[in-house]
Amino acid sequence: MIGVIGGSGFEKFEDFETVELLSTETPFGNASSGFKKVRVEGTEFLFISRHGDHHELLPSEINYRANIYALKKMGVSSIISFSAVGSLQKEFAPGDMVTPFQYIDRTKSLRKSTFLGEGLIGHVSLAKPICEVMGNHLKKISPKYDFKTHFGQTYVCIEGPYFSTKAESNTYRQMDAQIIGMSNFPEYALAREAGLPYLPCCFVTDYDCWDDSIPHVTVEEVIKVMKFNNQKAFSVLKDLLKIKNLSEGSLAYAGGLQSGLFMPPEAIPADKKYWVDVLMG
C-alpha cells in the first residue's frame, strides 16, 4: 500500500474514487482532514491532504507527526509527496517538476519535528533523506512527459507563511539550493524515523524574488500555475502506481527508529511503547 501526501494545489485529484474515509485520530493529535483510501485505475492507496481537505492549515500548523503516524499505522510501505515550490535558479521554470535528493532546514523550531524525546532517545541518519530507489524509478520514466523534470537538487524549507525577502532568497542561492518551499520539513525526517521511503515530487510555481527582472512571487501567480501542475502530478502518480516493487531495496527500511534508538527496548517509556511498536513495525 502506497501513501500519497498532497500539498498546495494537490489537495484533491478529480479522478480519485474514494473507497473509505479513515480516522484522523493518533497519539499525537489529529492528522490532516480528509484522510482516506482511494482508488485510481483499479489500484488502491491512501491519500492525505497535507494542509487539510479545504486547505485550512498553514505550513507551521500541519501536524506532521500525526500525518506520518496515521499512514504508517494504516500499513503504507512508502510515501509519494506532491508539493508546490519556488525556483531559485532560472533553469527550473514554473511548470517543471523537481525531485530533490537533499534538503536544508531553515524553519524556526515551531514544528514538532521528531518522534524522539521525552524519554525516547535516539539519533537517526538523514544523510540521504529521500528514497533514491524511488527517485531513480521516476527518473527512468520521466522522458515520456511533455514537461521538464529534474532530479538530485536541493530544497530549502522555510517557516512561512511569508515568502522570502530578496536577501534571504539570494542567501539560499549561495547555499546552493535550487528550490524553496515551506512544507517538506519535517515530513521527510519523520518518514525516515518511521522507516518509510519518501519520494518528493515538487512542482515549480514561481521564481521567488531573487531577480528583479523576473516578476516576484505572488499568491495570484502561484494559484494560476498550480492548476496546470495538478494534472501533471496526476499523470506522474498514475505511472508510479504501475511500478511493481517501487521502493524495494530502499535504505529507509533498515533506518529510522529501528536502527536509531539509543536505548534498549526495555527502557522505552511504557506510555510510548504502543506507538513506537507501530513506527518500528
Positions marked active-site: 206, 208
The C-alpha torsion from 78 through 84 and 85 to 87, rounded to 10°, is 120
Distance CA 160, CA 151 (A): 25
Distance CA 182, CA 159 (A): 6
Burial (CB count within 10 angstroms: exposed 0-12, middle 13-18, buried 19+), residue 184: buried
In the chain, the amino acid numbered 38 is V
β-pair partners for 97: 149, 203
Q: Which residues contact 127 (CB under 8 A, 6 or more apart)?
A: none
Distance CA 111, CA 214 (A): 32
Distance CA 219, CA 46 (A): 29
Distance CA 228, CA 218 (A): 16
Distance CA 223, CA 174 (A): 28
